[in-house]
Amino acid sequence: MKCPRTGVIMKEVAVGHFKIDICESCAGIWFDHLEFEKFDEAHEKTGDEVLKLLESIPKFPLDLNRRIHCPRCIDAVLMRRFESPLKKIALDECPSCGGLWLDAGELAEYRKLFPKEEDRKKASQEFVNKEIMPLFKKEAQKGEDELKQAKHIAGMFRLVCPSFYIPGKQEGAAF
């Protein structure tokens, strides 16, 4: 399998019960669907083993903005997505097979930011409470203000056209 960043053939490495692909040119890692979950937390020995393997590979600057293709599916373009609302690490995910590409240093940074799954969930909840909920509250208030205004306008129309607001008094009446 070729590295999506450099085009170099990646080395398949057995780590625990898994086989992952590592690029010895750019220190990138390919995880098949759901494999990342076995390496992402600080207490997982498999992640420690991968980090040791990557230590000896020299890191050099890469154009991370360049779109890359899935090394498995080849035709599928990987989607860059933030794994958390902190937006510090963007992982590349294949929309077809669900595999993940991590560039050099991203696994170590991820494990440092989120030593446990609960830490990532906590960061997500804090983001929702700080950024999203105020927007919802603002929109809800806007809705209440618009409803009050609509009721006020309807009340004015009752004065102008009272027959429309007397049930059964006119064909096509509002009530």
Q: How many domains does the chain have?
A: 2
Residues 109 and 132 in one domain: no
Looking at every residue in the chain, the average pLDDT score rounds to: 82
Which residue do the tokens 């057995």 mark?
A: 14
pLDDT over 80 at 8, yes or no? yes
Residues 103 and 18 in one domain: yes
pLDDT in tens, 95-117: 999 999 999 888 988 888 888 88
Is 54 inside any structural domain? yes
Single pTM value for the model: 0.68
Range of the domain at 109: 11-115
Residues 45 and 105 in one domain: yes
Better-predicted residue by pLDDT, 155 or 175: 155
Residue 166 CA to residue 37 CA, distance in Å, equals 65
Q: In the listed set 77, 92, 115, which residue is the last one of a domain according to the structure?
A: 115
Is 65 inside any structural domain? yes
Predicted confidence at residue 155, as pLDDT, reads 62
Residues 34 and 70 in one domain: yes
Is 173 inside any structural domain? no
pLDDT in tens, 36-95: 888 888 888 888 889 888 888 877 778 888 899 999 998 899 998 887 666 778 889 999
Residues 111 and 139 in one domain: no
Residue 3 CA to residue 146 CA, distance in Å, equals 55
Is 63 inside any structural domain? yes
Residues 56 and 141 in one domain: no
Contacts of 51 (CB under 8 A, 6+ apart): 107, 108, 111
Residues 53 and 99 in one domain: yes
Q: How confident is the model at residue 28 (pLDDT cuts 50, 70, 90)?
A: very high
Better-predicted residue by pLDDT, 143 or 45: 45
